[in-house]
Chains A and B, each alone.
Chain A
Amino acid sequence: MGLLRNARQKDKYVWEIPVGTQEGMRVPGVVFGDREILQKADEDNALVQVANVACLPGIVKASLAMPDIHWGYGFPIGGVAATDVEEGVVSPGGVGYDISCGVRLIKSSLSWEEVEKRLEELLDHLERGVPKGLGTKGRLQLSRKEMEDLMRKGVKELVAKGIGWEEDLECMEEGGYYPGADPSKVSERAFQRGRDQTGTLGSGNHFLEVQVVEETGPLAEEMGLFEGQVVVMVHSGSRGLGHQICSDYIEVMNAALYRYGFKLPDRQLVCAPVKSREGRDYLAAMACAANFAMCNREAITHWIREAFEATFRAGARKLGMGLLYDVSHNLAKVERHLVDGKEMTLMVHRKGATRAFPAGRPELPESYRAVGQPVIIPGDMGSHSYVLVGTKEAMEMSFGSTCHGAGRTMSRKAAKKKIRGEELKRRLEARGIKVRTDHLSGLAEEAPEAYKDVTEIVKICEGAGLSRRVARMRPVAVLKG
């Protein structure tokens, strides 16, 4: 605590923590936010984590934090760090345990009037169709070879099995295929933890929400969004597979740390050169988890479509249930960026931050190349969610990154103490939000009071130029593990 007094305000929503504030910093820290966000981050120790990340070998430009910054482990949540692939490191902690945790939005041509009267029936179908948390097995029992194929080839392999749609592929980062995946770099234990978990939601802050588009701005039409439209949001990740891969490679890199002679301010920041054996192996395993996570969300999407088909007695294509987009907010990616006027190949770590590329970038699918990349921002339970679009300014300021959600402000324990699950459920239902969950105490942990106001975060992202608003949605039903 106490780094705030060293921070210099560079612009309305841009704060710099200069090199030298903490020993070992190679680049400054830059936090996007207002004074309140900075103060809260300072009390939370998250600014120290921004400064710690600035010590990573090979980091370029700055250690960044988005406005939804809060205390993480090693990296702050909301942290973005880019390292030079030639001389820099990759850090599993900069990706997180839930590798490629992310959000997607599925559209429909249905209006709220059409869905409202059948909502309970739809929720029954969704609840039966989508497996949730611990102790529930996934609906897909895959052999070892089938798991390996999903990891190696990504979502197109799942589509080949008849799960998901071919046209979904282009609405995912990397076309649903993170390159370089090598299942031989994934431990037996990680395989075992991921087995039976393809197409399961998980618990914690993971959820499925039925939402209604409430307000639209420019570009909404180009993205196929209209006011009153019913959409479905899915938030899930790579499940036990990713958690174990992260744990495994933290150990591998801890054991190799002496070889590279890195001095790190926090053990959780452990890392290895991108080009080293440990770095390459981690990236090959991380790619497996990224592919698995996208397959997981695609399988869930398939069952959501089935639930709509059963409820509305029409095919999902006829119901307009195409994918808007799928983003990962915990991932490291090789990207080309301009740094001080020089184009560099970087390993961009986003830990609780979303890639937000502007129109014209070659990474974007044709359908969005003229519009810009859709960014999907889930609010906390019961509040709004947003669709944003990437900007040119983000490319210059944040390696094309923006926030990933509301960001917690109250610990889970404090939330549980303050709020009772049953009472919260009643409160949400009084506001017209139906709740389906197996564990009411888990619900309390995710109470709206425990989060920052997502609308404020989105406004600051917009004010700072990191992304622009396209649409706002309100939830009408929440399913949680």
Chain B
Amino acid sequence: MPETPDFEILDHTADVGVRAWGKGPAEALRNASLGMLQLIYDPSTVKINESREIEAVGRDWPSLLVAFLQEVLYLVEVEGWAIKDLEVVEVSEYRARARLQGEDLDPERHLVSGEIKAPTYHMIKFERDYDHWIAQVYFDV
């Protein structure tokens, strides 16, 4: 049973951000993704019909976080897919692979509330903080 995602939505005058935590980078990536998805639709309305895989590469931890979120966003925006949950199955500083569960996006049933243009590098953080990992990212919306 996956744990309740640990994240908070951050205030920014023009845009919006997510700060997520995890025991390790994999969990922080999952939680940051779920935080971002909540800004687009309501993941609790999504059923699991299908699973997909994504892979992201980065040059360092922050760029990996940006690349990973871009992959997730692409599934939603271009493939028209609503993600319920995801598991990061492999992660290093330069690469992350994840398995995602969800179904076809239905704007009405999934309560779509907005779009995200992109994750930015503005005040970005993806690092170990004592005994846990923190992932922070602001989005252009």
Interface of A toward B, CB cutoff 8 Å: 44, 70-74, 77, 96-98, 133-136, 189, 192-193, 195, 202-204, 240, 243-244, 246-247, 250-251, 254-255, 266-268, 270, 408-414, 438-439, 441-442, 445, 481
Q: Report which of B16, B67, B80, B138 forms a contact with A413, defined as CB distance below 8 A.
A: B16
- State how many angstroms separate the Cβ of A417 from the closest Cβ of chain B: 10
Question: Could you say which of B26-34, B85-93, B118-126, B128-136 contacts chain A?
Answer: B118-126
10 closest pairs, A vs B, by CB? Answer: A73-B122, A135-B107, A411-B11, A243-B117, A267-B121, A97-B140, A73-B120, A97-B117, A268-B121, A203-B115
- State how many angstroms separate the Cβ of B107 from the closest Cβ of chain A: 4
Contact sample, A vs B, 13 pairs, CB 8 Å cutoff: A71-B14, A74-B121, A74-B122, A97-B117, A135-B107, A136-B107, A203-B115, A204-B141, A267-B62, A268-B120, A411-B11, A439-B112, A439-B113
Assess whether B13 is interfacial by the CB under 8 Å rule.
Answer: yes
Give every chain A residue within 8 A of B10 (Cβ-Cβ): 413
How many residue pairs link A and B with beta carbons under 8 A? The number is 113
Give every chain B residue within 8 A of A412 (Cβ-Cβ): 12, 15-16, 141
Determine if A134 and B12 form an interchain contact, defined as CB atoms under 8 angstroms apart: no
A246-B118 in contact given A98-B140, A267-B124, A412-B141 (Cβ < 8 Å): yes
Give every chain A residue within 8 A of B77 (Cβ-Cβ): 134, 193, 240
A439-B114 in contact given A250-B121, A412-B16 (Cβ < 8 Å): yes
Determine if A133 and B15 form an interchain contact, defined as CB atoms under 8 angstroms apart: no
Determine if B13 and A408 form an interchain contact, defined as CB atoms under 8 angstroms apart: yes
Determine if A189 and B74 form an interchain contact, defined as CB atoms under 8 angstroms apart: yes
Determine if A133 and B63 form an interchain contact, defined as CB atoms under 8 angstroms apart: no
How far is A378 from B138 in the complex, measured between Cα atoms in Å?
25
Determine if A135 and B112 form an interchain contact, defined as CB atoms under 8 angstroms apart: yes
Residues of chain B in range 66-99 having any CB-CB distance to chain A below 8 Å = 66-67, 70, 74, 76-78, 80
Interface residues of B, dominant DSSP: loop
How far is A438 from B14 in the complex, measured between Cα atoms in Å?
21
How far is A98 from B10 in the complex, measured between Cα atoms in Å?
21
Residues of chain B in range 93-113 having any CB-CB distance to chain A below 8 Å = 105-107, 112-113
How far is A195 from B141 in the complex, measured between Cα atoms in Å?
19
How far is A411 from B10 in the complex, measured between Cα atoms in Å?
9
Give every chain A residue within 8 A of B16 (Cβ-Cβ): 411-413
Instruction: A44-B13, A73-B121 are known; give 7 further A-B pairs, CB within 8 A.
Output: A73-B140, A74-B120, A134-B77, A250-B121, A251-B63, A411-B16, A438-B107
Determine if B114 and A204 form an interchain contact, defined as CB atoms under 8 angstroms apart: yes
Give every chain A residue within 8 A of B13 (Cβ-Cβ): 44, 70-71, 408-411
How far is A134 from B114 in the complex, measured between Cα atoms in Å?
7
Determine if B118 and A243 form an interchain contact, defined as CB atoms under 8 angstroms apart: yes
Determine if A247 and B11 form an interchain contact, defined as CB atoms under 8 angstroms apart: no
How far is A135 from B112 in the complex, measured between Cα atoms in Å?
9
- State how many angstroms separate the Cβ of B123 from the closest Cβ of chain A: 8
Q: Report which of B14, B112, B114 forms a contact with A77, defined as CB distance below 8 A.
A: B14
- State how many angstroms separate the Cβ of B17 from the closest Cβ of chain A: 9
Determine if B59 and A240 form an interchain contact, defined as CB atoms under 8 angstroms apart: no
